[in-house]
């Protein structure tokens, strides 16, 4: 079996603002002395794993990344007739399996990626406690699993600061996508007019604003360790192959959702190179260290 799958994609996006910085403008990076547009790996991975395409293929094996598991348990207990004080206490105990809990709002302090098998165990425990009207015992609070068989956790990993024993190393490494050419960020100045304004007295706009945008051809590199993916999926080769196929299709077809209503910048990859082998992986970003010139 080839250990590594390496994907190299070129995708051309029209004017867009797919991934914003703290000022609301497209993210950038200086590469080879030239300013490039950038889409963060975090943005790409979230777009892929939450897409309808990925969900349709892997829905039964997808986890949920959330801080709100305590709120979910509390609501479930209350719906089944548990008193508010008891529901709050029991929800804190159950949520505490996944991280430290903010007791004022039942949220855990850090996002936790919860596998379907773990979420099912949480729901089953909440139902049992409500039926028997009692608090959980310590043995019942062992809700985390090593054998999650959650494909998004297997691909992108899991880090639980307070439960490091259940951390899972990511089988997929995703680079920040960058444009192969130099790029500048422009500003779109826009106005909105009040539909009920007859312009008899006021001919001005009801709202004025601006948003950053840019366009470019992005190079994206993804490396998947097939051996680690198979290990993370407990040796299920059929599920591992299905996961690889779904990831490739998502990477080729799914765009980040930033400002899509304003720019409708969805795009498919124009070019994909896939490599299989045992050799040490490497990105081909150096091919674009010197910005590409020309129109072709």
Confidence of residue 107 (pLDDT cuts 50, 70, 90): very high
Average pLDDT value for residue range 167-193: 94
From 7, 37, 9, select the one nearest 21 (Cα to Cα): 37
Residue 152 pLDDT greater than 90, yes or no: yes
The model's pLDDT over 246-279, given as tens digits with 9 standing for 90+, comes to 999 999 999 999 999 999 999 999 999 999 999 9
Average pLDDT value for residue range 159-183: 95
Residue 67 pLDDT greater than 90, yes or no: yes
Q: How far is it, in rounded angstroms, from Cα 269 to Cα 177?
A: 12
Phi/psi of residue 7, nearest 5 degrees: -115, 135
Residue 222 pLDDT greater than 60, yes or no: yes
Confidence of residue 1 (pLDDT cuts 50, 70, 90): low
Question: Whole-number mean pLDDT of the chain?
Answer: 94
The model's pLDDT over 10-61, given as tens digits with 9 standing for 90+, comes to 999 999 999 999 999 999 999 999 999 999 999 999 999 999 999 999 989 9
Identify the pLDDT of residue 218: 98
Predicted TM-score (pTM) of the model is: 0.91
Crossing angle of helices 116-132/69-79, nearest 10°?
30
Residue 277 β-bridge partners:
4
Confidence of residue 197 (pLDDT cuts 50, 70, 90): confident
The model's pLDDT over 127-147, given as tens digits with 9 standing for 90+, comes to 999 999 999 999 999 999 999
Residue 216 pLDDT greater than 90, yes or no: yes
From 38, 184, 63, 75, select the one nearest 115 (Cα to Cα): 63
- Virtual CA dihedral for 150, 151, 152, 154, nearest 10 degrees? 90
Residue 202 pLDDT greater than 90, yes or no: no
């Amino acid at each position: 079996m080839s250990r590594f799958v390496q994907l190299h994609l070129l995708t051309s996006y029209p004017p867009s603002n797919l991934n914003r910085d703290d000022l609301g403008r497209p993210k950038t990076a200086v590469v080879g002395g030239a300013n490039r547009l950038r889409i963060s790996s975090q943005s790409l991975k979230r777009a892929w794993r939450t897409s309808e395409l990925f969900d349709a293929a892997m829905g039964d094996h997808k986890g949920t990344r959330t801080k709100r598991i305590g709120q979910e348990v509390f609501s479930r207990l209350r719906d089944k007739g548990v008193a508010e004080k008891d529901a709050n206490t029991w929800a804190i105990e159950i949520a505490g399996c996944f991280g430290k809990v903010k007791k004022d709002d039942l949220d855990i302090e850090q996002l936790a990626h919860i596998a379907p098998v773990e979420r099912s165990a949480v729901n089953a425990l909440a139902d049992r406690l409500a039926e028997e009207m009692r608090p959980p015992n310590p043995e019942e609070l062992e809700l985390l699993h090593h054998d999650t068989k959650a494909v998004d956790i297997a691909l992108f990993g899991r880090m639980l600061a307070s439960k490091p024993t259940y951390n899972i190393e990511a089988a997929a490494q995703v680079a920040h996508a960058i444009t192969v050419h130099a790029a500048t960020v422009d500003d779109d100045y826009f106005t909105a007019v009040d539909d009920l304004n007859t312009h008899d007295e006021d001919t001005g706009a009801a709202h004025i604003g601006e948003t950053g945008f840019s366009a470019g051809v992005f190079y994206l590199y993804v490396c998947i360790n097939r051996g680690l993916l198979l290990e993370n999926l407990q040796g299920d080769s059929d599920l591992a192959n299905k996961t690889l196929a779904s990831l490739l299709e998502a990477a080729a077809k799914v765009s980040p959702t930033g400002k899509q209503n304003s720019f409708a910048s969805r795009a498919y990859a124009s070019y994909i190179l896939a490599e299989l082998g045992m050799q040490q992986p490497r990105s081909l970003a150096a091919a674009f260290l010197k910005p590409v010139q020309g129109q072709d």
